[in-house]
Amino acid sequence: MFMRNHFPLPTIVIFLLFILVSFDQMSVDKIMMHMESQSLHGGKVVKIEAELFFQVVDGRMITRYIQPANQVMITNNKGEVALYNEKEKTVVYRQGHEYSTETGLIQFFLQGKTLDLGLSGFGFQQMSTEFKDNLVITEWFPPSSLYHLYNRIELVHEDFMPIFVAYYDATRKLAKKVYYSDFQYFGDVYLPGLVTEFNYIGNDSIINRIRFSEIKVNHQAVSPWFNFEIPSDAKLRN
């Protein structure tokens, strides 16, 4: 749920981490899906398209980029990341907890933790609850270790599903809004088919819209990409 700027990968990495999940408590062994992302900033639109392949056993996920082409990213639950360029036959490696497939926001949908989207696990405490029409609005205050980042987080539920999150920075200004919609049901869990995010930077903003489609699980999820490995002759790049 936090911004990650430590690894010089394409911007979409931030959003890909949102769908990295742990299915230990679910009846799902593997999942594959198609992702399309559009980012609007300064009048320019950046489009990214990829196919995602995730396995439960080691939290390993393969991201095959369609646009831009020739790139494949491998991540796992240990926070290990490898970005392979098929055209140049080069690879970049990084490791850090922030890249782990266990820290993605969407994982909390899949683990059934929709009441707080994992906020309590990060040390946030629920301070207020408000009922308005069919909505339930809760406010969450951060632990002292996150005072420098957040003043509070507002979470909105409708029909027991989280549909909106607002992040306020340490100066109490609205820093980010995230909307979840087009929910789809898969066995034990609901997944948002569309995630729309507004990031506010000074007087400017960045709008990101990510759509997930063609979602297949277990025996329906069949592809050789689940077993992709970085070629042994790939050249290491810093």
Question: pLDDT value at position 90?
Answer: 95
pLDDT at 153: 96
Q: What is the pLDDT of residues 79-119, one digit of tens each?
A: 889 999 999 999 999 887 666 666 555 566 656 678 888 88
- Whether 143 shows a pLDDT value over 70: the answer reads yes
Residues 6+ positions from 90 with CB-CB distance below 8 Å: 84, 234, 235, 236, 237
Region of poorest pLDDT, from 2-11, 35-44, 89-98: 2-11
CATH number for the domain that contains residue 165: 2.50.20.10
Please report the beta strands in 170-229, taking only residues with DSSP state E, as ranges in sequence order: 174-186, 189-201, 204-217
CA distance 87 to 103: 30
pLDDT category, 73, cuts 50, 70, 90? Answer: very high
Give the chain's radius of gyration (CA, Å): 18
Separation in Å, CA 58 to CA 7, 63, 109, 113, 195: 22, 15, 19, 21, 26
Kindly tell me if the per-residue pLDDT of 202 is higher than 50: yes
What is the total count of domains within the chain?
Answer: 1
Q: What is the predicted pLDDT for the residue at 113? A: 72
Query: Does residue 15 register a pLDDT over 80?
Result: no
In a domain, 36, yes or no: yes
Residue 4 has pLDDT above 80, yes or no: no
Domain presence at residue 153: yes
Decide if 1 is inside a domain: no
Cα→Cα distances 65→34, 73, 118, 176, 179, Å: 10, 8, 29, 26, 24
Whether the predicted pLDDT of 171 surpasses 80? yes
Give me the domain span that covers residue 76: 12-230
Q: Is 131 helix (H, G, I), strand (E, B) or coil?
A: strand
60, 100 contact by CB (below 8 A): no
6 found inside a domain? no
Residue 152 within a domain: yes
The answer to whether residue 237 sits within a structural domain is no
Whether residue 3 lies inside any domain: the answer is no
Give domain status of residue 44, yes or no.
Answer: yes
0.75 cut: is pTM over it? yes
Between 223 and 31, where is the model more confident? 223
